[in-house]
Amino acid sequence: MTIKITRRSVCTLGAAALGCAAFPSFAAEDPIRIIVPYPPGGPLDVTARAVAEEARHDLGNIIVENKPGAGGNIGVDYVAKQAPDGKTIVMGALATHAVNPNLFSKLPYDPIKDFTPITLIAQTPNVLVITPEFSQKTGIKTVKDLVAYAKKNPDAINYASGGNGSAGHMSGELLKNATGIKIVHIPFKGAAAAQMSVLSGDTQMIFDTLASASANIKAGKLIPLAVTTTFRAPSLPNVPTMAEAGVPGFDISTWYAFFGPAKMDPKVVDKLNQAFVKAIKSKPMAERFDKMGAVEKAGTPAQLNDFVKAELVKYKEIVKTSGAKVD
């Protein structure tokens, strides 16, 4: 015999002794959904699930759903069109809220007007990596070697990315523009698939996130040539920045943030912000960020709003300079 226990039955049975108010987070109905606009297994997906696990203590049931496609646009647009009740939010990123609005000629959402900012989560450098096999075959050991090889062999190098508009895509285009080399962009549906293509030899290089690449760097399956930020990554202290490696002015990092649909109740936003900031700043997340090579950046909705506006301006210039465009 199976007995189904609901919040109503628990309240009824225990009302005399405890009262229904004793079970404020018992109900599993109406869970909060975090939409990740990329496939499972990538850094956004892993981070969203980790934050959700910590935030459940304050917010109750949280479900993480993947809705990938169109460089993250499908999942983000889906959330923009949901009710602004705080029950559906999106794990936005550099690509979806700063690059794609400048890269795609037709975008179904406005990164500012169609969303309510909740909190920034973290930032992480990208790292340019190749395989030992490709290094041995070509003699490439540094960024200068890579540039020299590409100039002698135009269009011979395919570089993978997690999708159009991703930090990896922008990094590749910025490298092309800064050095004059010709390399071919191969976008994939997510960082995991992109890295796999490099490991299998289908593509030759990738600007990957530290979170995604670190394990295979430690295992010797990937060789780091440089990081994309103006500072060296603490987890890779001997790896130069792109500027140090011979490409001055190079500065790109991946970031993640939570957004809800536009016109959310400020009280709901405040509740979500407090719970997520607490989760992001927790000890388990600090340990996870350290392993990912990420820097925790939790803050207020207003700070996230200002940050996104600044990133839009920054990447408008980068996209324009790169000449990249997606119809």
CA angle 170, 43, 41 (to 5 degrees): 120
Give 113-128 pLDDT, tens digit per residue: 999 999 999 988 899 9
Contacts of 308 (CB under 8 A, 6+ apart): 97, 98, 111, 112, 117, 257
**Bridge partners for 207 per DSSP:** 128
Q: How many CB atoms lie within 10 A of CB 282?
A: 18
- Give the mean model confidence (pLDDT) for residues 254-277: 97
Q: What angle do CA 281, 282, 288 make, to 5 degrees?
A: 90
Closest CA to 39 of 170, 194, 169: 194
At the top level of CATH, the class of 30-123+253-322 is alpha beta
Q: Are strands 115-130 and 205-209 parallel, antiparallel or unpaired?
A: antiparallel
pLDDT tens digit sequence for 284-301: 999 999 888 888 999 999
Query: So what's the pLDDT on residue 292?
Result: 81
What sign results for the dihedral spanned by CA atoms 16, 19, 22, 23?
Answer: positive
Strand partners, 130: 223
Portion of the chain with pLDDT greater than 70, in percent: 91
Q: What is the mean pLDDT of residues 97-113?
A: 94
**Residue 96 near residue 240 (C-beta atoms within 8 A):** no
pLDDT at 29: 63
31 φ/ψ angles, rounded to the nearest 5 degrees: -70, 160
**Residue 249 structure tokens:** 């002015």
Q: Which amino acid is at 188?
A: F
CA distance 23 to 19: 8
Average pLDDT score over residue span 306-313: 95
- Would you kindly state where each structural domain of the chain is located, as residue ranges? 30-123+253-322, 125-227
Q: Tell me what pLDDT residue 210 has.
A: 87
DSSP E strands, 131-264: 158-161, 184-187, 205-209, 223-227, 253-261
Strand 115-130 versus strand 253-261 pairing type? antiparallel
Tokens 């995604």 map to which residue? 212
CATH assignment, 125-227 = 3.40.190.10
Is 80 exceeded by the pLDDT of residue 324? no
Res. 261 pLDDT band, cuts 50 70 90? very high
pLDDT of residue 30: 86
Common-topology check for domains 30-123+253-322 and 125-227? yes
Mean pLDDT of the 41-57 span: 93
Q: What is the mean pLDDT of residues 168-195?
A: 92
pLDDT of residue 41: 85
The two three-digit tokens of residue 183, written as one number: 């390399």
CA–CA distance, 324 with 172 (Å, rounded to integer) = 10
70 conformational bin, left if phi > 0, alpha if psi -120 to 50, beta if neither: left
Q: What's the rounded mean pLDDT across residues 167-189? A: 92
Copy the structure tokens of residue 325: 């465009």
**What does the pLDDT read at residue 325?**
79
Residue 212 pLDDT class (50, 70, 90 cuts)? confident
CA gap 27, 24 in Å, rounded: 7
pLDDT more than 90, % of the chain: 69
* CA 35 to centroid of chain Cα atoms: 12
Q: How far apart are the first and last CA of the chain?
A: 58
Is-above-0.85 flag for pTM?
Answer: no
